[in-house]
Structure 1
């Protein structure tokens, strides 16, 4: 098998357009781009998360901070 010619790429693009529609293709492209970027970072050894489009982590609010994991049973005051 040889390399893909421009005609093969055009045929693949037309089939993708017919299958997914023009509104879904940009979203699929972004998803594939992000997937390949993460794969490249993982294979290069860049374990850090350098993506700027992800939501920052939300800090959890402790309901009862004086209760530790070692305590068990009901709390009575």
Structure 2
């Protein structure tokens, strides 16, 4: 994966922790996960809000 090994990933993790702080890491991970999920849903054509009119019975 782009020539990244364990030492490089550990250095990158330390830099991220120094920049953002340990408390913000879960928030950032959650935001990235939501972004990926929304992108997948949008690429499949699913809308977040269903705006189709409902038929009256």
TM-score range, shorter chain: 0.5 to 0.7
Stretches of 4+ moved more than 6 A in 1?
A: none
Unaligned runs of 5+ in 1: 50-77
Report the TM-score, using the length of structure 1 for normalisation.
0.52
Match of 1:7 in 2: 7
Partner SS, residue 24 of structure 1:
helix
How far 1:19 sits from its partner (Å)?
A: 0.3
Unaligned runs of 5+ in 2: 49-57
Which structure shows the higher helix fraction? 2
**Superposed CA RMSD:** 1.5
How far 1:46 sits from its partner (Å)?
A: 4.0
Q: Larger Rg: 1 or 2?
A: 1
